[in-house]
Structure 1
Amino acid sequence: MRLISLWALCCFSTVSFAADVPGSQDLPIVPRLADAQIVDYRPPVELERIYPLGSIRKISGQLRFDGQITARGQTTAVTYELPPEHSATEAFTEARKALQKQDAELLFWCQARDCGESSLWANEVFGNAKLYGADEQQAYLLLRLAAPRDNTLVALYSITRGNRKAYLHVEQFEAAAPLGELLPTSATLLRQLKSTGELDFPDRVDAPDDTWLRLISRGLNLDTTLRVTLSGPKAEAWRQALISQGVRAARMETGTVEGKGLRIDLLR
């Protein structure tokens, strides 16, 4: 029995036995991948933070991206080096799923060259040279935690370097002032739909509003091969409104009226 218990501990414990950076610790909201090692830790510090909401590039010495969130607050950052048996993609996906189980909202999600230059993410955004790798081996995700912690953002960045070492960077930002309304990008809605098979909007309980109608219709029209089911009390109203925004009627079906908001499921 003792041998079985030790085997189970080795296989399933979320605590790494590797040598972490002294004084470091995990963020409670993101579980550590087994055998990952903390190679960089930055304790809470108050500063102004800019989180890109688009592909990053540098023009005339200035960073450029399509959108951003700028706020002041406390930032805590943890960088993990992953064991050889786990990929950066795997660690990124597990962290995303853990946050989504806590009802975190995805604001911006990019992968590979859609993110821009890895060197800019590493050095300009996160200030950590360990995160510099091949552009096609990167992923970035910015999420907002659910109420009552909706003034907290979490940034995930994964990368595989040229030496095949893989890293996951996790950054938690607690804003000093209310963040107000933050909207996801249409491309992020599409990536989420294709990756998870669903989009859930529990707050969209009323008739379609212009802002969300534009976001959802643009997301669906970024890939015109997809077919979806719309569910919820106002599902048919949303379907008709999306048709008026150029989404082909043949791509959308109306599902159940259950639930309090709008839900979109991918028809595979």
Structure 2
Amino acid sequence: MRSLNLLALCCFSPLLFAADVPGSQDLPILPRMTDAQIVDYRPAAELERVYPLGSIRKISGQLRFDGQVSARGNATSVTYELPPEHSATQAFTDAREALQKQGAQLLFWCQARDCGESSLWANEVFGNAKLYGSDNEQAYLLLRLAAPKDNTLVALYSITRGNRKAYLHVEQFDAAGPLGDLLPTSATLLRELKSTGELDFPKLTDVPDEAWLRLISRGLNLDTTQRISLSGPKAEAWRQALIEQGVRAARMETGSVEGSGLHIELLR
């Protein structure tokens, strides 16, 4: 009888009845994390959207950041509450890697206090109070999907609240018109290099492009302790151009990774 009572308690555990908010669904671009629950869902709605490309702060009542992507289009968002055994950091990493495997390009990536105040991300950027937590326990990422979906942006925001509940917010924005050229920040390139160990630029097949050269050189010079190898058909031209931009020659060597464009690998 005792075992039956225990079985009954288990079967009627509130955790087993945890359900997504009515009418919600996952975004097709990103698989559901195991045992995650949708706690906020906002179906596609046409609006003017602004995504920060820098740390956010509020000055004289106005939201400020160094750069932005702004466009009109349709935005759809899903907020997941993660099970206790899944950290916000791991869910964020899994989502980033899944999108990068689809060829998505990172535009801006920040973590912890480098992002600014969590309250501003939660209330001003995403309009979702569930996302307010510790400034040290947050991460934000803006990506652009690969062609032919290159007019679609995906924003990821993860947070751990004071009660230790962890959340991952995913927002897909389908722009109504072409987004044009969008370049990542130098700090984002460095963060990606340190986190993944490599940077791929399949479109950089020719002589060094001035805009990309400035971005890459600035990113590398944000941490002068890192050594890299450069591969690709114009690898030596890129190495010489980076030296002219102030990157020390001793930090770079040419590699042998095959590919049509520039490939940068972190030397451990």
Q: Please, what TM-score do these two structures have when normalized by structure 1? A: 0.93
- State whether residues 51 and 69 of structure 2, in contact with CA within 8 Å, keep that contact through their aligned partners in structure 1: yes
Deviations 1:166-213 (A, max 9, x none): 000000000001000000000000000000000000000110011000
Alignment of 1:22-101 (within 5 A): 22-101=22-101
Number of the residue aligned with 1:249? 249
- Give the counterpart letter for 1:188 in structure 2: T
Alignment of 1:179 onto 2:150: no
Gaps of 5+ in 1: 1-15
Number of the residue aligned with 1:201? 201
Alignment of 1:125 onto 2:125: yes
- State whether residues 44 and 75 of structure 2, in contact with CA within 8 Å, keep that contact through their aligned partners in structure 1: yes
Gaps of 5+ in 2: 1-15
- State whether residues 257 and 263 of structure 2, in contact with CA within 8 Å, keep that contact through their aligned partners in structure 1: no
**Partner SS for 2:123:** helix
Question: Aligned partners of 1:133, 1:257: CA distance in 2, in Å?
Answer: 42
Report the alpha carbon displacement of residue 85 of structure 1 after superposing the two structures with TM.
0.3
Question: Aligned partners of 1:29, 1:235: CA distance in 2, in Å?
Answer: 33
Deviations 1:116-157 (A, max 9, x none): 000000000000000000000000000000000000000000
Deviations 1:32-80 (A, max 9, x none): 1100000000000000000000000000000000000010000000000
Question: Aligned partners of 1:141, 1:17: CA distance in 2, in Å?
Answer: 32
Alignment of 1:215-226 (within 5 A): 215-226=215-226
Report the alpha carbon displacement of residue 110 of structure 1 after superposing the two structures with TM.
0.1
Question: Aligned partners of 1:259, 1:152: CA distance in 2, in Å?
Answer: 26
- State whether residues 233 and 257 of structure 1, in contact with CA within 8 Å, keep that contact through their aligned partners in structure 2: no
Aligned residue pairs: how many?
Answer: 253
**Partner SS for 2:140:** strand
Number of the residue aligned with 2:169? 169
Number of the residue aligned with 1:134? 134
- Give the counterpart letter for 2:193 in structure 1: L
Question: Aligned partners of 1:111, 1:261: CA distance in 2, in Å?
Answer: 29
Question: Aligned partners of 1:170, 1:257: CA distance in 2, in Å?
Answer: 33
Deviations 1:73-119 (A, max 9, x none): 00000000000000000100000000000000000000000000000
**Partner SS for 2:250:** helix
- Give the counterpart letter for 1:191 in structure 2: R
Report the alpha carbon displacement of residue 258 of structure 1 after superposing the two structures with TM.
2.7
Question: Aligned partners of 2:99, 2:267: CA distance in 1, in Å?
Answer: 24
Question: Aligned partners of 1:206, 1:221: CA distance in 2, in Å?
Answer: 23
RMSD: 1.0
Alpha-carbon distance change, 224 to 24 in structure 1, aligned in 2, over 3 angstroms: same
**Partner SS for 1:213:** helix
Q: Please, what TM-score do these two structures have when normalized by structure 2? A: 0.93
Question: Aligned partners of 1:112, 1:18: CA distance in 2, in Å?
Answer: 30
Report the alpha carbon displacement of residue 259 of structure 1 after superposing the two structures with TM.
1.2
Report the alpha carbon displacement of residue 162 of structure 1 after superposing the two structures with TM.
0.3
Question: Aligned partners of 1:152, 1:42: CA distance in 2, in Å?
Answer: 17
- State whether residues 233 and 260 of structure 1, in contact with CA within 8 Å, keep that contact through their aligned partners in structure 2: yes
